[in-house]
Amino acid sequence: MLNISVTKTTAPKEKPEASTLGFGKFFTDHMFIMDYSREKGWYDARIVPFANLSLHPASTVLHYGSEIFEGLKAYRRADGKVQLFRPMENIRRLNNSAERLCLPQIPEQDAYQALTEFVKMEQDWTPSAPGTSLYLRPFLFGNDETLGVHAVHNATFVVIASPVGSYYKEGINPVRIMIEDEDVRAVRGGTGYAKCGGNYAASNRAGERAEKKGYSQVLWLDGVERKYIEEVGAMNVMFKIAGEIVTPMLSGSILPGITRKSCLEVLRKEGYKVSERLLSVDELAEALSNGTLEEAWGCGTAAVVSPIGELCYKGTKYIINDGKIGAVTQHLYDTLTGIQWGKIEDPFGWTCPID
């Protein structure tokens, strides 16, 4: 058990209008912080007024990118209660990311306590308009005050919260995606499976180039052969090919998404044929040209699912499902959002109400 000290703000902020929320623009009144040193372990767990952090200019994170993060949401149900969705999955993934980056892990129960006590304190900030939620951003970084390069001896864990708007204010519109054949996001043996800031820094260039050409994001290929599909933007990707749901298997360079896992569990429970395997861009192009590619979508916490209406590969454009959201994509959206906002029964035990 952590002993979490609480310092309340003396200047509570006005809560923003639901229509102005957007993503990650507003932050709640408080934040959770705790520090780590090799000698003391995790210490000084505290909830304090939301404020800038003060870092030594030599702090490890600023030079060597020792940073990992998580993203999950608190949802307000119709009865007013606030609930989390599979938070232990995020905590386990945080620790897997920490292990990869040589950052200290947090005992699962302590991380869970930190998260839930913080959400309980900030729960009034969970908006109630359709599709809105309170986005939680736990992050952990190396904080040694020296330029020496080594596994860190000091670290800081922070959780901040941001009320966010509906991802689909204008309805679910399929996006245009470009298959990226130059930059790669990650390689096996690298940090692809870890949710670390550096992966994002390295993928921004391809994203920017795609946007300039009128695409929303890129479809990433594997870093070794540039042949196998990995992810779409910062989401996992799934396809329906000749009746079967296909998603790239977790090979080490793919981020193990909790939305991905949840989609697969829903589909398997309902008897869909689901396959986690290698999927080459040639197989995809073949399915696109012979009409067996029925649906394609990205999946992640922010959007839940994001249907892909067009794919461009080496200059050829392919339209998927007439550019409309497909039945399986829509079904996954309805099921997951139904469970998250407590609108339908949760047969999996995924939701976690805050008391």
Cα atoms in the 13 Å half-sphere on the side-chain side of 61: 19
Residue pair 83/147 in contact (Cβ under 8 Å)? The answer is no
Which residue's CB is nearer to ligand PLP, number 83 or number 259? 259
Residue 230 in 3-state DSSP?
A: strand
* Nearest-angstrom CA–CA distance, 340 and 84: 8
Q: How far is the CB of 256 from ligand PLP (least distance, A)?
A: 8
> Which secondary-structure segment (H or E) carries 259?
helix 258-269
Residue 132 Cβ, how far from ligand PLP at the closest point, in Å? 17
Closest to ligand PLP by CB, 21 or 258? 258
Closest distance of CB 340 from ligand PLP, Å: 12
- In whole angstroms, the minimum distance from the beta carbon of 146 to ligand PLP comes to 29
Closest distance to ligand PLP from the beta carbon of 234 (Å): 4
State the residues that interact with ligand PLP by CB under 6 A.
71, 195, 231, 234-236, 255, 257-260, 300-301
Contact (Cβ atoms closer than 8 angstroms) between residue 46 and residue 4: yes
Looking at beta carbons only, is 255 or 354 nearer to ligand PLP?
Answer: 255
E strand spans, 151-242:
154-164, 175-179, 217-221, 229-232, 235-241
Instruction: Provide φ and ψ at 43, rounded to 5°.
Output: -145, 165
Q: How far apart are CA 194 and CA 319, in angstroms?
A: 32
Q: Which is nearer to ligand PLP, 255 or 266 (CB)?
A: 255
Output 255 or 267, the one with its CB closest to ligand PLP: 255
